[in-house]
Amino acid sequence: MSQKNLDTVTKAEQTPDTEQPFAALGVKEDEYAQIREILGRRPTSSELAMYSVMWSEHCSYKSSRVHLRQFGDKAPEVDFLLVGPGENAGVVDAGGDLAVTFKIESHNHPSYVEPYQGAATGVGGIVRDILTMGARPIAVMDPLRFGAADAYDTHRVLPGVVRGIGGYGNSLGLPNIGGEVVFDACYAGNPLVNALAVGVMKKSEIKLAKADGPGNQVVLFGARTGGDGIGGASVLASATFDDGKAVKRPSVQVGDPFMEKVLIECCLEIFAADLVTGIQDLGAAGLSCATTELAAAGTGGMDVQLDLAPLRDSTLVPEEILMSESQERMMAVVTPANIDAFMAICEKWDVIATVIGEVNDSGRLRMTWYGETIVDVDPKTLALQGPVYERPYHRPEWQDALQADTPDSLSRPKTGEELRATVLSMISSPNLADKTWVVEQYDHRVRGNTVLGHGEDAGMIRLDESSNLGIALATDGNGRYTKLDPYHGAQLALVEAYRNVAATGAKPLAVTDCLNFGSPEDPEVMWQFAEACRGLADACQILGTPVTGGNVSFYNQTNAVPIHPTPIVGVLGLIDDVTRRTRSAFTDEGDILLLLGDTKDEFGGSEWAHVTHGHLGGLPPEVDLERERLLAEVLIAGSRDGMLSAAHDLSDGGLIQSVAESAIRGGRGVRLVLPEDVDPFVALFSESAGRAVVAVPRSEELRFTDMCKVRHLPVARVGVVDGTEVEVQGQFTIGLDELTQAWRGTLPALFG
């Protein structure tokens, strides 16, 4: 290896005036000056590489941090949060000796460039975050947003993304238990590929990412380091896609799920033997991130012999090794006494493991390359003390006009015939249509604990076969609502996921969020972001569901046109006994259908306005957090006390969409009798929040409605499970077969 061009600390001290390509690495001029000030000299090229990735938007949250603070400042006081934001993932007490960790992340930009690998490594990355907490990953979910369903490029992006999620997740042996597939032209050049993972561990086995104890060994294990994904985090995820501009688009990381599966089992065996004092995965910013974060959170110092890192490509230079985002790599801190046992387990699983460094109390992270010092920094300046921006923001001038452009003047179906036609065109529209074509490509059965999967309101996993303790998870988000009103739009995402969890009978506990927005350098986007954070933090405070972690994805825009602001919210719930869960299907003839909550004339941002008029304007449905809490309590009590045959939340497409889905799923018809004082169109299609439809056996009707009345939750009898048709009395009838065909046919016709 030629040392001739090696930039060392000594050389940096001797040649202060060497020009450095900081701008090409995404480092702003004032940031570069700050780095020089911190070091008291110019950075070596390796140090510059490390600062560039660690201070990137993706790793440092420099634009979002001032707003994200609210999640901590306004966090509700709870006794079940074992690890809060800041670690790889939040951890929640699941009762007994069990804890659950979960988190959502984005892999949007790579998935546009290379859909299969982008989506695959998105799953791989979030699963490693969960593993790093000491947990066995037990399920994944994928909320997805694509451009218009009939757009040419959607047919490149969607099949690749779906195959990538399946190809990687299925090979890890993780059930995929939920998520969303939403189409909107605003995502055409910026698809959103968010991935959520959840894991379970013993409370006593929670691991933290810190390098403690001088003399302890730093072990790099897993895949070899290659040239893939270099600069991925800093450059790719922090750049917009502009036409006609030579944008730096480095190669997307390429995943090897087999390596990750082996790595998971290897790590779990290492954890069970209690052989690590700290552990970190190598994700965005690779070795730069893992070494600096471990050192910064621990004793404070670390010496690393970078030339010992096993390479896939022997020509890689130190700067590239430090920035590489090769997948399936982990870093552990191991005491000298445990190192042999650690290595033996790695050998058992055929996992390459190499001691590349040692912890010390110098307060410095030093790296050498064949004996020459190439990095000598205070790790805190990389990991903790990155730049923080108070980006300017202001309410867009067009916001008032958008809100004033209400859907009230849009022509509405009036006759039974028109309502019938609307139902069929809505249920077959890409957003409301059956997603089986997508979810069939995911394994949802592996590990044998999937109690509820796709098609239900929330995914549910059994944690303990003897106690039947389980968790439920749902993700939701509505970009149209959030565009109309970012504050309430973010809250609507939260309450929908909260409601979905409660509809299965689980108690919603904690939140993870993936905040997908345009460029933070656009003050209007920044306003959307600020408002969404404020809304989410306020609502979490009132609902008592703390944000435990998550991810911000900025720069989702093309040619200065940002996506709809799209906060995706994941809610985790607990259920004492999974055999008590409520399904969404109407299965029992004669069951009474009850509508819970109030229905108002609310169509701003609705699926109806979108599908039938291509209209977006007005205000989204009102948010009533106390009502959501009450509804959740009733749904949970109904499930626990065995009063419910089925429950389904009402959201996109309104009452008729939910009823149709439950009828199709159960293979049973329904007869709906709408209240006489309400416009049938509003009753069927309004998207008012805080509502659910439940099916109760006749014998339970009185008990259940009494419970609602005692708790002051509006309840109305709206129909009965009956026959083989969906009939709205006095309006129209659609045979279950016709309805099913309309619902199921759309995605196979588009993508099959």
Partner 1 sequence: MSARIGVVTFPGTQDDTDALRAVALVGAEPVSLWHRDADLHGVDAVVLPGGFSYGDYLRCGAIARFSPVMESVIAGAREGLPVLGICNGFQILCESHLLPGAMLRNNGLLFINRDLTLRVGSTSTAWTSDYEVGQEIVIPIKNVDGRFTADQRTLDELEAEGRVVVRYAQNPNGSDRDIAGIANAAGNVVGLMPHPEHAIEELTGPYPGPATDGLAFFTSVLKKLVSA
Nearer to partner 1, 181 or 374 (CB): 181
DSSP-assigned beta bridge partners for residue 512: 549, 570
Q: Does 442 bind partner 1 (CB under 8 A)?
A: yes
Report the Cα 751 to chain-centroid distance in Å.
25
Considering only residues 171, 190, 422, 475, which one is a binding residue for partner 1 as defined by CB under 8 A?
171
Considering only residues 441, 598, 622, 745, which one is a binding residue for partner 1 as defined by CB under 8 A?
441
Q: Does 666 bind partner 1 (CB under 8 A)?
A: yes
For residue 70, the one-letter residue type is Q
How many residues form the binding site for partner 1 (CB under 8 A)?
Answer: 40
Q: Does 571 bind partner 1 (CB under 8 A)?
A: no
Q: Does 579 bind partner 1 (CB under 8 A)?
A: yes
For residue 378, the one-letter residue type is D
**Min CB(68)–partner 1 separation in Å:** 36
Nearer to partner 1, 480 or 583 (CB): 583
Query: Helix %, strand %, coil % for the chain, to 5?
Result: 40, 25, 40
Nearer to partner 1, 262 or 563 (CB): 262
Neighbours of 82 (CB within 10 A): 17
- The C-alpha atoms of residue 420 and residue 745 are separated, in whole angstroms, by 18
Helix (H, G, I), strand (E, B) or coil at 645: coil
The window from 39-47, 439-447, 551-559, 669-677 that contacts partner 1 (CB under 8 A) reads: 439-447
Q: Does 264 bind partner 1 (CB under 8 A)?
A: no
Neighbours of 399 (CB within 10 A): 17
The window from 255-263, 392-400, 543-551, 643-651 that contacts partner 1 (CB under 8 A) reads: 255-263
Helix (H, G, I), strand (E, B) or coil at 201: strand
**Min CB(663)–partner 1 separation in Å:** 13
Nearer to partner 1, 50 or 195 (CB): 195
Does the annotation count 107 as an active-site position?
A: yes
Q: Does 446 bind partner 1 (CB under 8 A)?
A: yes
Q: Does 272 bind partner 1 (CB under 8 A)?
A: no
Nearer to partner 1, 621 or 669 (CB): 669
The window from 116-124, 164-172, 378-386, 655-663 that contacts partner 1 (CB under 8 A) reads: 164-172
Tracing tokens 């409301």 back to the chain, one arrives at 432
- The C-alpha atoms of residue 385 and residue 383 are separated, in whole angstroms, by 6
Query: Please, what's the largest Cα pairwise distance for the chain?
Result: 88
- The C-alpha atoms of residue 577 and residue 263 are separated, in whole angstroms, by 32
Considering only residues 88, 121, 238, 449, which one is a binding residue for partner 1 as defined by CB under 8 A?
449
Alpha-carbon torsion angle 7, 12, 16, 21, nearest 10: 40
Q: Does 186 bind partner 1 (CB under 8 A)?
A: no
Tracing tokens 């998870």 back to the chain, one arrives at 473
The window from 47-55, 259-267, 317-325, 379-387 that contacts partner 1 (CB under 8 A) reads: 259-267
Q: What does the buried/exposed string (b/e) look like for 652-674 if buried means 16 or more CB atoms within 10 Å of the residue's CB?
A: bbbbbbbbbbbbbbbebbbbbeb
Q: Does 447 bind partner 1 (CB under 8 A)?
A: yes
Neighbours of 578 (CB within 10 A): 24
Q: Which are the contacts of 33, defined by CB distance < 8 A and separation ≥ 6?
A: none
Does the annotation count 58 as an active-site position?
A: yes
Q: Which are the contacts of 367, defined by CB distance < 8 A and separation ≥ 6?
A: 46, 291, 303, 304, 305, 306, 318, 373, 374, 375, 376
| Contact letters for partner 1, residues 450-479 (x by CB under 8 A) | xx----------x--x--------------
Q: Does 745 bind partner 1 (CB under 8 A)?
A: no
Catalytic residues: 58, 107
Residues that bind partner 1 (CB under 8 A): 163, 166-167, 170-173, 256-259, 261-262, 265, 348-350, 439-451, 462, 465, 578-579, 583, 585, 587, 666-667, 752
